[in-house]
Structure 1
Amino acid sequence: MEEETKAIAALPDDDLAGVLRVLPPRSLAVARSVCKAWRNIIDARGLLLAHLLPHSVRGVFVNYIDHDRPHLFSRPCSSSTFPGIDGLLSFVPNDDNRRDWWTVLDHCNGLVLCNINWESQLCVCNPATQRWTILPEDNTELSRRLPCAYIAFDPIVSPHDEVFLIPDVPEKPKTTAPSVQPQAEQMIDEPFYLDWLFPSPEGAADQADEYQQDPHRFTEWPPSPWSLKVFSSRTRQWEDRSFVRESQPVGTVEEMRLHPHEPTWQGPRQRYAVYHNGGHYVHCRGSFVARFSLSNDKYQVIKMPIEEKDVKSYLGRSKDGVCFGIVYNQQLRVWKLSDSCGNMEWLLKYEANIMLYASYIAALPYTNGRQPDGSWMVEEDNSENETGSEESIECDSDSDEYNSDVSDIDENIETKSNESIEWDSDNDDIITVEAKGNERAWERLTILGFHPYKEVVFLVGWFGIACYHFNSSKVQYLGNSRPKCYYRNHTNGIYESFVYTPCMIGDLLDGDNTGHEL
């Protein structure tokens, strides 16, 4: 046996990788712990990623208006032997088991960024492995106000993630200087705003004073360099990181302040972001996307393909890469971001009229304020108080470098193989509608998210969710996304939604906590 092991070890790396590739997942995980050379070969070629990072959608995390927690809308698991994904995130620490308001801020390749403890603290968690980490507080004013926070993570490149704090609007002056009457020749150079002459509930006069006193209001936005607060799980610290702009600015600081904060009253409260091929794409206020290159600390400004007015837009990732979509007047339009020799441009890829499907979903019967269930359901706690567990077990970060993650890998592979993490057929629950000539768009469909591995977009009416297949124009009704514990009010609705893809790698958050077993 020893001679056979030596013979295998003497093989060239490519030949050894060919031998390891045919091993079953459990044996491959054990081989990874034999020595550092074998582990490097397995990791460098991603031999375990097909088992630990399945290209499938587990569900959609949804934040609800005036509701204290998000829920996972998904197809129930078929297995009862092994624990599935904890869609309630009950393993995430709570505020001493008291009622706690928290939300999902972002999702990237299986890691979920949450805003917990009465939305005052950031937490990164993995619902598949039930590992979590609370980010340390940064004492700067920017961090205390928790501006738009996004997470970037690529397990193929590194087991570490990064969290970015990106302000949605340039900072206003922190102090108010005494008002000074400008000279006549100075007044000619300064812009004049008619609103300054009339009082308004929003304090237009006060805003005019701020504009006059801010010497930076005509500077370009976004700036170059653009200094952002970035947290790295590798160092466990916040740092100031500067990105140099490689394109023209989108406008001025003043124009960004005057730009509408959100396209609709229902949100989202912060726009979406996408990580793709080493670039972090963030949809910013002012109708542009900033693409941050994490390898060289540079960024580009990409203007949106359409001005967003009174629409709930969505920036996401589809099978072909970064995409952007809206539904306006029941017309679904989706653009793909194309990179041609470094020149980023939006190409209109899909366009379809979905009024018939909107009418169909609106006509579904309501029972106690709920539309009928489908093959997908909302995961929720049946107990009176939806709180997380008080217990959490600290991971042993000082354990052996190789053996410490073998058990996690084995357990997660078996969990993955014994649960159904995607709907069974694209032909289930197909909606068939016929035009009668008197259809009226009672229901406004909006985009809930994109399937990252299929040509599919998720759509939602009030709470009824369907998916539209671009290639076949098929529409499936998935079910009702309204939790039973969600109190009834005229303000009910959905803020943000995140298509969740599981990541089964057990040692992503090295040295962090893991929740109790379900």
Structure 2
Amino acid sequence: MEGDPMGVALPEDALAEILRRLPPRSLATSRCVCKAWRSIVDGRRLLLPELLPHSVRGIFLEYNEASYPGFLSHPSMEPDDILGKLNFHRLRPDPYQWTYTHIEGHCNGLLLYRDRLGLQVANPATQWRARLPPPPETEREGGFVEPHLAFDPTESLHYEILLVPQTPLAEERDQPEPSKEWPASTWVLCLFSSRTGQWEQRAFLREGEAAGMASDEVLHRTSDSCSTYWHGMLFVQCNGGFTVMRISLSNNKYRVIKIPTDIEESEYYKLHLGRSREGLCCATFRDRTNLRVWILDDSCGTMEWALKHHIDLDQSLSRVMWHCGEKEGPWSLQDAINVEHYGQQDLNDVNMDEDHSNNSFVKSEVEWDSDNDNIGDNESEVVENYLPYVCFLGFHPYKEVIFLNLLSLRRAVAYHLNTSIVQDLGNIWPNDYDAGHAGGIYKSFLYTPCLLADFPENKLEAHVAG
């Protein structure tokens, strides 16, 4: 094979057959040897689809005033009891003692969460779990520093966690020099690597302009930060959605990416960062149901947001909401404490009218094709304009599909951006959840499983949950 770094000339087909026989971890390592090997592994999908399925199997949901998350699970012949495997309440020594578990992030099958022992990383599909040493800082005067997970099993089975300030910290805003840039040209961040099992301070050099001056009011916005990992880069949303930081963990450089210029100030807090089949994207709602989606274009070396979709969801969502009524969708909601499945119901019952006749519209709306994740068809006329309140749950990372929360019905739906097809997934409100006016979902994480089991241990602790 031409250009073979090992000096052995093998036809591509022969080399592919050799690589195909490697165990998953060795195959993932071989992918990093050279571009030619990576091209073979990726082009022929040698990392088996059943180990790295390109599908969304559920959505982790964080509720206000709740001690544990919920999990809206994808239907299958044998539904995965993800929360039962994670066993978030396993550390509670006394059933009457208050404790909590909050999810901080998800990346390509790994889950980052925090409980009373600190930060943990887990693979829900294989029950592998590792506890991290305490980070040197998670909160500083004048601002919060949030952890973000970076992991790509096609590159390496090691993972990294980066602590990123949401806004300029007090000591940065109160500098004697009022023109102090933020972030600084050399931005020092705290990072944990599973390779070393330790936290370390790492300096990242800025490419391009700063977000602004540390004293600028526009940089002091705070809200829940989200991140996504794509092409070896960690993209982190800061300043209440006003800025996206592109951080490279391989060459220790970062770049400030400002949000699309036509987003109004009121939309900053509603901006959602994610990854779709076409790459890095962001979405926001103007008014109730006016959705806009941008794709990040870096083809010419510049970071520009291109408007990909501008859709009024009113008609589509009114249609599905009117017809779903009180029916339970095919996805089931799991409760972390009791490991109960709320809303699970026989689809034959769901798709039958009161006179036991099969309603084709409801069937196409409710059923989910678990073999290929197709979205159900929808061609019926709108009976009544419902005009729902909507919030974002996430992007499907491998399809042009978004997941939405219909607040007024407390339901999740999937919306196909290219065809405007909508499918009702079902209830996302636990039966015993009552937080009054504070009730609601404040974070969501789409779960894509990784069935690779041979993860490296960190030096503090690694174990398989029993």
Q: TM-score, normalised by structure 2?
A: 0.78
Check whether the contact 1:356–1:434 (CA below 8 A) recurs between aligned residues: no
Q: Contact 1:293–1:299 (CA<8 Å) still a contact in 2?
A: yes
Matches within 5 A, 1:8-23: 12=10, 14=12, 16-20=14-18
Q: Does 1:454 align with 2:399?
A: yes
Deviation, 1:103, is 1.2
Q: What CA deviation, in whole Å up to 9, does each residue of 1:61-98 have, x standing for no partner?
A: 11111111112112233137xxx352355345534365
> Which of 471, 474, 482 in structure 1 is aligned with 2:418?
471
The residue type paired with residue 283 of structure 1 is: Q
Q: Which residue of 2 aligns with 1:283?
A: 237
Asked whether the 8 Å contact 1:65–1:493 carries over to 2, the reply is yes
Unaligned segments of structure 2, at least 5 residues: 1-7, 342-367
Moved more, 227-236 or 280-289: 280-289
The structure having more radius of gyration, on CA atoms, is 1
Deviations 1:112-136 (A, max 9, x none): 111211xx72111110111111110
Q: Within 1, Cα distance between the matches of 2:9 and 2:209?
A: 53
Rounded to whole Å, the distance in 2 between the matches of 1:301 and 1:160 is: 26
**Separation (CA, whole Å) in 1 of partners of 2:277 and 2:295:** 10
2:312 match: 353
Structure 2 counterpart of 1:122: 119
Aligned-partner Cα distance in 2 for 1:49–1:473: 32
Cα gap change, 1:152 to 1:447, in 2 (>3 Å): same
- Look up the SS of the partner of 2:17 in the other structure: helix
Matched residue of 2:237: which SS?
strand
Matched-pair contact (CA < 8 Å) for 1:64–1:70: yes
In the TM superposition, 1:39-58 aligns within 5 A as 46=41, 47-58=46-57
Are 1:483 and 2:444 matched, yes or no? no
How far is 1:423 from its partner? Answer: 2.7
> 2:57 matched to 1:64?
no
Q: Structure 1 254/129 Cα, relative in aligned 2: closer, same or farther at 3 Å?
A: same
Pair 1:318-2:276 in alignment: yes
- 1:225–1:244 Cα contact (<8 Å) kept: yes
1:152, 1:169 → 2: CA distance?
21
For 2:348, the equivalent position in structure 1 comes to none
Q: Is 1:86 paired with 2:41?
A: no
The 2-side partners of 1:48 and 1:427 are apart by: 23
Q: Is the 8 A contact 1:59 1:72 kept in 2?
A: yes
Kept in 2, the 8 Å contact 1:216–1:253? The answer is no
Partners of 2:58 and 2:30 lie apart in 1 by 37
Distance 1:167 1:31 in 2: 33
The verdict on how the C-alpha distance between 1:382 and 1:495 changes in structure 2, with shifts beyond 3 A counting, is closer
Residue 432 of structure 1 deviates from its aligned partner by 4.9
After superposition, the Cα gap between the structure-2 partners of 1:146 and 1:235, relative to the gap in structure 1 and judged at 3 Å, is: farther
2:299 aligned with 1:340: yes
Asked whether the equivalents of residues 83 and 336 of structure 2 are also in contact (C-alpha less than 8 Å), the reply is no
| 3-state secondary structure, aligned to 2:59 | strand
1:31–1:38 contact (8 Å) kept in structure 2? no
- Taking only the aligned residue pairs, the percentage that are identical comes to 36
**Retained in 1: the 8 A contact 2:75–2:370?**
no
- Contact 2:147–2:162 under 8 Å retained in 1: yes
Structure 2 CA distance for partners of 1:143 and 1:125, relative to 1, 3 Å: farther
Contact 1:331/1:352 (8 A) holds in 2: yes
SS in 1 for 2:105: strand
Q: Secondary structure at the match of 1:490?
A: helix
> Hey, what does 1:267 align to over in structure 2?
none
Please report the RMSD computed on the Cα atoms of aligned residues, expressed in angstroms: 3.5
* Change beyond 3 A, Cα 1:381–1:258: closer
Cα separation, 2, equivalents of 1:282 and 1:17:
38
1:138 is aligned to 2:135:
yes
Deviations 1:124-164 (A, max 9, x none): 11101111111101344748997211001111211111101
1:348 maps to amino acid: L
Q: Assess if the C-alpha contact under 8 Å between 1:64 and 1:495 holds in 2.
A: yes
Match of 1:241 among 191, 202, 206: 202
Classify 1:37/1:312 alpha carbon distance in 2 versus 1 (closer, same or farther; 3 Å): closer
Name the residue aligned to 2:335: 380
Residue 5 (structure 2) aligns with = none
- SS of the equivalent of 2:216 reads helix
In structure 1, C-alpha distance between the alignment counterparts of 2:24 and 2:184, rounded to whole Å: 50
Cα deviations across residues 155-178 of structure 1 (Å, max 9, x unaligned)? Answer: 12111111011111222149xxxx
Residues 73 and 383 of structure 1: is their aligned pair in 2 closer, same or farther, counting only changes over 3 Å?
closer
Looking at structure 2, the residues matched to 123 and 381 of structure 1 have their Cα atoms a distance apart, in angstroms, of 16
Give the drift of 1:479.
0.8
**Bigger shift: residues 155-164 or 50-59:** 50-59
**Partners in 2 of 1:359 and 1:296 — Cα distance?**
48
Q: Which residue of 2 aligns with 1:215?
A: 176
| Structure 1 residues 163 and 354: CA distance shift in structure 2, 3 A | same
Structure 1 gaps, min length 5:
1-9, 175-210, 263-269, 387-420
Match of 1:309 in 2: 266
1:72–1:88: 8 Å Cα contact kept in structure 2? no
Give distance in 2, aligned partners of 1:496 and 1:309. Answer: 19
Q: How far apart in 2 are the matches of 1:374 and 1:301? A: 41
Q: What is the rounded CA distance, in whole Å, between the counterparts of 1:334 and 1:297 in structure 2?
A: 29
Q: Is the 8 A contact 1:361 1:461 kept in 2?
A: no
Report the Cα offset of residue 295 of structure 1. 1.8
Distance 2:59 2:24 in 1: 33
- Describe the SS at the equivalent of 1:124: strand
Distance across 2 between alignment mates of 1:62 and 1:39: 34
SS of the counterpart of 2:91? Answer: coil
Amino acid at match of 1:290: M
Distance change in 2, residues 1:32/1:276 (3 Å):
closer
The structure 1 residue matched to 2:164, chosen from 151, 166, 178, is: 166
CA shift, 1:258, in A, is 6.1
The aligned residue for residue 359 of structure 2 is: none
TM-score, normalised to structure 1, is 0.71
What corresponds to 2:76 in structure 1?
Answer: 77
Q: 1:37 to 1:377 in 2, by over 3 A?
A: closer
Q: Distance in 1 between matches of 2:397 and 2:127?
A: 23
Corresponding position of 1:226: 187
Distance 1:473 1:91 in 2: 38
Distance 1:112 1:173 in 2: 32
- Residue 326 of structure 1 aligns with an amino acid whose one-letter code is T
